[in-house]
Amino acid sequence: MALFPLESNPEVMTKFLHKLGVSEEWHLADVLSFEDDCLDWIPRPAAAFILLFPCSDKFYEHAAQQKKELQDQIIVPDLYYMKQYVSNACGTIALIHSVANNVERIPLQDGIFKKILDDSKDLDPEERGKLLQDLPNNPYVMDMINAHQELALEGQTELNPDEKVNHHFVAFVEKGGYLYELDGRKEFPVNHGKTTRQTFVNDAAKVCKDFIARDHEDVNFTAMVLTSSVE
């Protein structure tokens, strides 16, 4: 199964979150720059960063190196991580990672998102990923997939689900005092070191800058932040 890819469009992805039952107090906003003076303008609280980046050979080389080097990293027990098995679902999975790791901060109405998180909280990352494939036994997952497809069609790009997509969404969250990169196509989450809720925005931006530095010849990077207008 291949989905239409979501665009890095805060308005569309915010609408998607609200359709799934996320409180309307929370929304996505563009990150216009990763420099500290611009980051200061991002509304707080900020729960997650979502980066869209090109999947170049340099990215895959770096991911392979991480797989060798990060076997003994610290992964906190309550980190929610889902593998990606459905093509072009990376935008939806980035949103799931963003919200699932902030449920104590982000109110959820009874609906699709709450049902998925309730049913998957005790599953391992592989089983969570397979939920999105098991449509006959999970009608609420089909509702989420239908919402994904509907919102993807609101974007500006002509869509073909079978066309190879060269860009990928990844989420960054703070959990247990650490900054985690959550990419469902990797073998495991990536711990980028200590952070706090107060320093999360700047620390996540530094990691995003590392992505750009590894592939500086490509300018096709965009980022969004999941934030709230309510303290």
Provide the annotated active-site residues: 90, 168
Helix H segments across 45-199?
57-69, 90-100, 112-120, 125-131, 139-152
How confident is the model over 52-87, as pLDDT tens digits? 988 767 766 777 777 777 778 999 999 999 999 988
How confident is the model over 117-157, as pLDDT tens digits? 998 999 999 999 988 887 656 777 778 888 878 877 875 55
The DSSP H or E segment spanning 36 is helix 36-39
In a 3-state reduction of DSSP, which class is residue 51? strand
Q: What is the mean pLDDT of the chain?
A: 86
Mean pLDDT of 224-229: 92
Query: Cβ neighbours of residue 84 under 8 Å, at least 6 residues apart?
Result: 90, 93, 129, 183, 184, 185
**pLDDT attached to residue 153:** 82
All structural domains of the chain: 10-228 (3.40.532.10)
* pTM (2 d.p.): 0.89
